A and B are shown apart, each in its own frame.
Chain A
Amino acid sequence: MIKIIDYGLGNILAFQNMYKRLNVQVGIARTADDLSGATKLVLPGVGAFDHAMELLDGSGMRQRLDDLVLNERLPVIGICVGMQMLAEQSDEGRLPGLGWIRGEVKGFKSLQKRDLLLPHMGWNDVQPTGRTRLFDQLHTDSRFYFLHSFYFECARPEDVAATSTYGKEFCCAVEAGNIHGVQFHPEKSHHYGAQLLKNFSEL
């Protein structure tokens, strides 16, 4: 069963409702014990990077998650700050990230473009790179809702699963083996988001 990781951040209900509409069974994990029986993991996240890492580290699930993702290779998808948490570090905070995908999180502010409104808020086009199955049926005219000021910079170009453009072309989805992440909010992106979450459930 897909387990949504509830460490006190992010829109757990929205994912639950979306999967209910898709007729996909999901559960919620609040403790390490809740993670048993998981076949896939959803890691949501909003707000500040350090706050998210602190809460996840304090949830009692961290060790079990590292084991499930890195050793048992369970498919996992990080959403928004949940994707940023996959990185090794973030310019937004001081705490290390999960380090599941090599790279670091940068601020759009560092681009020093005066005309760039921040945060990046609204519906933007997404271009999948073509290797990932996460974007099946989403290769033409797919758009998703973004709400963020920081973005993931992959250390290895092959981990970039999709890009979008705001101030520059940036990586808005990552994929390295069983580990996935999207910067936008599929749970709030109408039929585009539903398709993506369905694709994840069918990986």
Chain B
Amino acid sequence: MLRPRIIPCLLVQDGGLVKTVKFKEPKYVGDPNNAVKIFNEKEADELIVLDIDATAQQREPNFRLISQFAAECRMPLCYGGGIRTAEQAKRIIGLGVEKVAISAAAVADPKLISRIAEEVGSQSVVVVLDVKSSLFGKQEVWTHNGRKNSGKSPVEAAQEAEVLGAGEIVINSIDRDGQMKGYDVALATRLRAATRLPMSVLGGAGSLQDIGELIAACGVVGASAGSFFVFKGAYRAVLISYPTQAQKDELIRTSLHQRVGAGTA
């Protein structure tokens, strides 16, 4: 059986590991290479690493840092941040990264998705959609760390990415970032129905139960989280954690069972 994936998402800024709240207040939480080592030991399903400064500062991807991650990482790695050309994407895949994530550049120039897919294959192209709600509840895709509104609806952007040759969509809720109060399951469910691409959801997970709710709603999905895997307790002490295989298996079994029970499978 193909399993839902449980995916730590690491944010990198100035070479350090940080965690944000609603894409703001980046708090230093440690050394990213050390975090990769810990997730190796815990046998995480996959890892997403996002350089949150590269695009905002119009920087190139940090190839030296990426090659360090790729060499260290014994699980599949998805890297994003600052990728604007197919050439850069190809170079990153060449360093031993399984998937490249593009966001702002893909929203501004959707054909970039096709150009990268031609170079590295669709299976390695991930489109990240950062979604924010307006005061009136309308959800739109934002870029540049949540500072620029593209005006596109997430469903429209996801369907466009699918047609152009993306291999996966990551839906990231800016409103829920760092809140640890649960995923935007309604948004995830809408997106799940809108495309036939693998999808991962990021933003809001604070417990295994939150991950279970997402799986119950969406089935085989990537459940990604930042804060949940790096903080512990009410005072947000930094402590990297990840469920054991037995915990994961049990969570997936019961959540998929709920899905079948609810008649939505």
Q: Which residues of A contact B (CB under 8 A)?
A: 8, 11-14, 17-18, 46-48, 114-125, 143, 145-149, 165-166, 185, 187-188, 190-191, 193
Q: Are B198 and A122 in contact (CB under 8 A)?
A: yes
Which residues of B lie under 8 Å from residue A125 when comparing CB positions? 1
Among the listed A13, A143, A145, A148, which residue makes an inter-chain contact with B70, where contact means beta carbons less than 8 Å apart? A13
Interface residues of B in 192-251 (CB under 8 A from A): 196-199, 220, 222
What is the bound-complex CA distance between A114 and B93, given in angstroms?
Answer: 30
Give CA–CA (A45, B73) in the complex, Å.
Answer: 18
Number of residues on chain B facing chain A (CB within 8 A): 39
Instruction: Give B residues with C-beta under 8 Å from A.
Output: 1-5, 40, 43, 45-46, 67, 70-77, 93-96, 98-99, 118-124, 167-168, 196-199, 220, 222
| Contact between B43 and A191, CB atoms less than 8 A apart | yes
Cβ–Cβ contact B3 & A117, under 8 A: no
22 contacts between A and B (CB under 8 A): A8-B94, A12-B96, A13-B95, A13-B96, A14-B73, A46-B93, A46-B98, A117-B220, A119-B122, A119-B167, A122-B46, A123-B3, A123-B5, A143-B3, A145-B76, A147-B98, A147-B99, A147-B124, A149-B123, A185-B98, A188-B74, A188-B76
Q: Which residues of B contact A193 (CB under 8 A)?
A: 74
**Is B2 a contact partner of A190 (Cβ separation < 8 A)?**
no
| Given contact pairs A117-B220, A188-B76, a sample of 6 additional A-B residue pairs in the complex whose CB atoms are under 8 Å apart | A13-B67, A13-B95, A121-B198, A122-B220, A145-B45, A165-B1
Chain B residue, CB-CB nearest to A21: B74
One of B45, B95, B96, B121 near A123 (C-beta < 8 A)? B45
Chain A residues, Cβ within 8 Å of B119? 47
CB neighbours of A187 from chain B (8 A): 74
Tell me the minimal C-beta distance from B97 to chain A in angstroms: 8
Say whether, besides A13-B96, A17-B71, A46 and B5 are in contact (CB < 8 Å): no
